[in-house]
Amino acid sequence: MPRHPQEQGRIENLVGYMRRNYFVPVPQVNSFEELNCMLLERLRADDGRPVAGKEISIGEAWAQEKGKLLVLPRLPYRCCITNPVKANHLSLINFDGNRYSIPVEYGISRLMVHAYVWRVEIACGDRVIATHQRCYEKGQDILNIDHYLPLLLQRPGAFPYAKPVRQWKMPDVYREFLTALSQPVNGGGVPEFLRVMAMGRTYGPENLEEAMRQALSENIVDAERVRQLVSRGSYPVTVSATQESQYQAKVILPDLCQFDQLRLVTAAGGVSNE
């Protein structure tokens, strides 16, 4: 930001310079990460250009100015839109004309939405309980099937018809595992499949998928075998946002030495009232 009014024009001129020299013609890139890398290379190459009206380069001027800058804050600034939100009866929060799902366990909690350029985070206190890719269309429901697992476990018959399931892009290993469970020889079907999916909340989806692949290769397709594989494997146990609240309570243990003091007082004939 300019410190003096006369600096405003200089900043606008620099914006025009960057637009003409860095964005004309329009860069052809496959992602914003590639665009940022390209811009960084061009900015570094521009360090050798002399500063207007001075006998030093941009890189040299930056080296002189760097020592006068303020220290960065301990916590980075959130480059996002932050608003308080409330979930409806479908465990959806509204933001910018779209609805994003949250875990059903947080349906009555006080929530905050942090909307970045490409993602939307929903937080309860200091915990991020849901992350979605930001949608720039209108009237869309962006759902995560994991958020509705507790309800599906209670009503597995709703699995084929639930909107989160119909919107879910099921990975191949999940589809293959569900197909195997649906065979008469296994007989587990959807309820067994949902119990397997619930393990992803503890061990993580990547570890769960690896265990499912191994169970399929062994031709032992059931929830108990998957549980054995993920529990004995060298997988780091992760605590999901829905489980983390279980570990927030701090139990203060009693000081048992106080009972010894009471015993000594009793043996001495009681406590004096004086």
pLDDT of 52 reads 77
Helices and strands (DSSP H and E) totals, the chain: 12, 7
pLDDT of 145 reads 94
Q: Is 95 helix (H, G, I), strand (E, B) or coil?
A: strand
CA distance 164 to 148: 8
Angle at 16 between CA 34 and CA 22, to 5 degrees: 25
If we measure between CA atoms, which residue out of 196, 235, 198, 194 comes closest to residue 212? 196
Query: 9-43 burial, b if ≥16 CB within 10 A, otherwise e?
Result: eeeeeeeeeeeeeeeeeeeeeeeeeeeeeeeeeee
pLDDT of 96 reads 94
pTM for the full model? 0.69
Q: Is 230 helix (H, G, I), strand (E, B) or coil?
A: helix
pLDDT of 72 reads 86
pLDDT of 49 reads 87
* Domain segments of the chain as ranges: 12-66, 81-142, 148-246
> Peptide bond preceding 76: is omega within 30 degrees of 0, i.e. cis?
no
pLDDT of 73 reads 87
Per-10-residue mean pLDDT, the chain, length 274: 58 83 88 90 88 85 88 87 94 96 91 94 93 95 94 92 93 92 80 92 90 91 89 58 45 64 66 46
